[in-house]
């Protein structure tokens, strides 16, 4: 029994939550509701990355950082002196700025290239989903929108 209803709890696989979030992010993108698309795609990506790591794999961001470190070990100063923590903070900055407000540090205004960020977060979640053999049902709709827009 729930707090507000007599309904039983819903049991849902985390994988399915990620799929729903990514599909909703795509739907919101297509509706030009980019800020919400960023947040949902980021949540989906976090779930997918957690599932990848739980299965013994390496999340895409971790794999990317491992490549940076490998290239640095060859004496090539890839990405300058940025640390892993700084890189991850930068990679997640827009999503985090949309989710949180840090009194004393954050402005009351955000400057965001919302279409670019929404595209990148959906693409990032899509990549993580593919590592789990997941393809959102509305991915073709997304591709049909963005391929001509961004690439032709």
Report pLDDT digits (tens) over 121-139: 999 999 999 999 999 999 9
Report pLDDT digits (tens) over 48-97: 999 999 999 999 998 988 999 999 989 998 888 889 899 888 888 888 88
What percent of the chain clears pLDDT 90, i.e. is strictly above it?
A: 66
Measured between alpha carbons, how far is 25 from 116 in angstroms, rounded to an integer? 14
pLDDT of residue 90: 85
Q: Which residue in the block uniquely carries the two structure tokens 């960020």?
A: 117
**pLDDT of residue 105 exceeding 80:** no
Q: Give me the residue spans of the domains in the chain.
A: 14-97+112-150
Measured between alpha carbons, how far is 115 from 117 in angstroms, rounded to an integer? 5
pTM above threshold 0.75 = yes
Task: Check residue 150 and report its DSSP letter.
Answer: I
Closest CA to 49 of 130, 118, 120: 130
Distance between first and last Cα of the chain:
53
């Amino acid at each position: 029994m729930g707090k507000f209803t007599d309904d039983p709890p819903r049991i849902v696989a985390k994988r399915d939550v990620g799929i729903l979030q990514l599909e909703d992010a795509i739907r919101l993108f297509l509706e030009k509701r980019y800020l919400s698309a960023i947040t949902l795609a980021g949540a989906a990506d976090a779930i997918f990355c957690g599932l990848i790591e739980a299965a013994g794999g390496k999340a895409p961001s971790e794999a990317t950082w491992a490549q940076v470190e490998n290239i640095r070990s060859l004496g090539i100063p890839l990405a300058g002196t940025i640390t892993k923590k700084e890189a991850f903070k930068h990679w997640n900055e827009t999503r985090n700025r949309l989710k949180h407000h840090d009194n004393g540090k954050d402005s009351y205004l955000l400057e965001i290239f919302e279409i670019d960020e929404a595209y990148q977060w959906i693409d990032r979640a899509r990549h993580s989903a593919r590592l789990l053999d997941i393809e959102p049902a509305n991915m073709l709709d997304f591709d049909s929108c963005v391929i001509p827009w961004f690439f032709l």
